[in-house]
A and B are shown apart, each in its own frame.
Chain A
Amino acid sequence: MDYATSDMGVPPLERSRERGSTPLGATADQGFKIVVVGGFGVGKTTLVRSVSEIRPLNTEETMTQAGEAIDDIAQVRGKSATTVAFDFGRITLDARNVLYLFGAPGQERFWFLWDRLFTGTLGAVVLVDTRRIDDSWYAIDRLEHHGTPFIVACNDFGGPVRAGGDVREALDLDPHVPLVDCDARSRESGKQVLITLVQHVKNRYADPSARAGLPRQEFV
């Protein structure tokens, strides 16, 4: 689990008084979510940090071992609860629209919380380390299951570059899913990843014939 924040020891109320992030403008009224999923150490936090206008923050959700977010806090007393932590950053798009970018772990327990946290997500970026491609299968399977549009971005770790065709084949990736290379440390590269995702989502909904055959996101 990769925690991005370091000043964990400060009491919450004290810390909230010295809030580091810039406030949004008064007219902001529409929040969007984009989720970056990937295995441990693949660069999710780095990508969020490179494009975020605020220092990335970290928060968590709690669930019981049964996999449900807890219905009554009393249930947790004396039981072991599991927490899923995630990082996030923020991008102000214009006077009304603000985008939140979440870096989320790809492991199995995280997906129990997907519907609770990430319903209504604009789309997802599956961040891949081409040396550990197997880490990404589960995330891709889950995103397809949830009907969430996504792209795959291969983070460049400076190793030998694997040809795009190889990666697509290794991931058994649908031909219509964009596959891009990126450097998660670079703001410009991170920005291009997000643009590729949103363009992909827009194309999907702009073309009625394509839309008919696609799974629809369910809004609860």
Chain B
Amino acid sequence: MSGPGRNRPGRDDAPDRLYTITQGRSRSDPDNPFDLVTLVVAESEPTAGMQSEHVAILKLAQSPTSVVEIAAELRLPVSITKVLLSDLLAAGRISARHPRRPAITDPDILEQVLVGLRNL
């Protein structure tokens, strides 16, 4: 593969760097609750000695920020980002607003989506 994506951290040097970031842990835990569009909110400030990716997430998520935006901003694969978010959630440093799945089949909520789109 060629092109600009070749130089992305997490792609170029993927295995070793990503192994370090997640300390080799599983990255596709089926219990991981994070969706691409889960909105993450920081609940604390970064502290000294914290892993740099965790610091970056807490800074990004001062207002609600989706998992996929965090992955893009950190330039990490989505699944690696989810591992990092699970750490922060377990430590109480972030809260997570997961998408409510019934919403996408609820005509009243779909009408809210339509109204929002028409107002664009």
Contact = CB atoms under 8 A, between A and B. Distances in A.
* Bind each other: yes
Interface of A: 1, 3, 5-6, 8-9, 11-13, 15-17, 19, 21, 23-26, 28-33, 51, 57-62, 68-74, 76-78, 81, 83, 85, 88, 90-94, 97-100, 102, 116-122, 187, 191, 194-195, 198-199, 201-202, 205-206, 217, 219
Contacts of A187: 120
Interface in B1-47: 1, 3-5, 7-11, 14-16, 18-19, 22, 24-28, 35-39
Contacts of A68: 28
A187 B114 CA distance: 16
Contact of A117 (B1, B78, B109): B78
Contacts of A71: 26-28
29 contacts: A5-B4, A11-B9, A23-B62, A23-B65, A24-B63, A24-B64, A24-B65, A28-B39, A29-B39, A29-B64, A29-B97, A31-B36, A33-B37, A57-B69, A59-B68, A60-B10, A62-B79, A73-B15, A74-B24, A77-B16, A78-B15, A85-B5, A90-B69, A91-B120, A97-B109, A98-B66, A118-B36, A120-B99, A205-B106
Nearest to A54: B69
Contacts of B105: 205, 217
B59 A73 contact: no
A97 B116 contact: yes
Given A57-B73, A72-B27, A122-B113, A100 B79 contact: no
A62 B8 CA distance: 13
A120 B101 CA distance: 6
A120 B104 contact: yes
A7 to B, nearest CB: 9
Given A61-B78, A100-B37, A120-B35, A81 B14 contact: yes
A202 B69 CA distance: 27
B60 A19 contact: yes
Given A17-B59, A62-B79, A70-B79, A100 B7 contact: no
Contacts of B103: 30, 32
B24 to A, nearest CB: 6
B98 to A, nearest CB: 8
A121 B114 CA distance: 16
B117 interface: yes
Nearest to A21: B69
Interface in B83-116: 97, 99-101, 103-107, 109-116
B110 A205 contact: yes
A26 B63 contact: yes
Nearest to A71: B28
B109 to A, nearest CB: 8
A163 to B, nearest CB: 28
B104 A31 contact: no
